[in-house]
Copies of this chain bind each other. A is one copy, B any other.
Amino acid sequence: MNAHNNNPEMYIPTYDDVLAAHERIKPYIHRTPVLTSNFMNELTGADLYFKCENFQKAGAFKVRGASNAVFGLTEEQAEKGVASHSSGNHALSLSYAAGRRGISATVVMPKTAPDAKKAAVRGYGGTVLECEPSTAAREAMLEEVVANTGADFVHPYNDHRVIAGQGTCSKELHEDVGPLDAVVAPIGGGGMISGTCLTMSAISPDTKIYAAEPEQADDVYRSFHAGHIIEDDAPQTVADGLKVSMRPRTWHFVSNYVTDVLLASEQEIIDAMYLTWQRMKIVIEPSCAVPLATIIKNKEVFAGKRVGVVLTGGNVDLKKLPWMNA
């Protein structure tokens, strides 16, 4: 794959932006641990290094990008607050970061989003505006918020500040465990994968980057093979963080740096999630079980290799676990 960025107006962040982001956000994020598991290594034949962003502030890696955006604002901009649309971890993360800076955050959320998520956003001091559950509705309402308040729009992933922030995750991983043969991360809109590509291409260019995606939300897989962005139309998958589609900034990284896109079925994702809880004793959300599912499914790709696995988050409804429905 060798697509290129043809839009001169689209700023593509550099590794210097990642370095600056890391200094900026350090006081507000955890340096999350890297776990290993003999069981998982024996199962897969690879040496796996799990970067535990499920232990991150607000329960997900998204707080890295959100904090970088929020703490990079000038005082003047900051006074007007920040805004975004999200039904998930970006909403929590942006509210958390804004709360730490003491500025307002407004998040447009579909009225179908779980009450627990809305309550968590409010718990961090954010304001929730409910909209109809469609992309058009959420974008229209967000535009209105920005027009009325002058708030800075922090897109969940198509934002250079957010991508640079997410790039701090694989920087820490590399610092803690040394050079890796591969890193596998889940892909939805592509923020984490883009940050990973950005960092690894600068500090460890031999490390291959694999994007792990649900079969039932395989827009990245199809885009990757078509050579242009293909959007999914409301995919249904247990990996609820991976339903969104790429945008130009993340497509830039995916098309230029990703080695392959690997798919996993719903059952494979649930099995990998269950296995992680059972054997590693950590709570991860379905989205971040997709990498392990693809590693188990493609053992020949990873056997004998040192492989980083990004566990992106741990925000899950403990009363509705996917294996309860099986």
Q: Chain A interface (Cβ within 8 Å of chain B)?
A: 33, 35, 54-55, 59, 274, 277-278, 280-284, 314, 318-319, 321, 323-324
Contact = CB atoms under 8 A, between A and B. Distances in A.
A314 B280 CA distance: 9
Contact of A318 (B55, B274, B284, B319): B274
Contacts of A55: 35, 280-281
Contacts of A284: 281
Nearest to A278: B318
Nearest to A274: B318
Identical chains bound together, number: 2
Contacts of A280: 55
A284 B282 CA distance: 9
B314 A319 contact: no
A25 B318 CA distance: 36
Nearest to A53: B281
A314 B33 contact: no
Nearest to A311: B281
**8 A-B pairs with the lowest CB-CB distances in the bound complex, closest first:** A281-B314, A281-B283, A54-B281, A277-B283, A55-B281, A277-B318, A282-B282, A278-B318
Contact of A282 (B274, B283, B319): B283
Contacts of A282: 281-283
A314 B274 CA distance: 14
A269 to B, nearest CB: 15
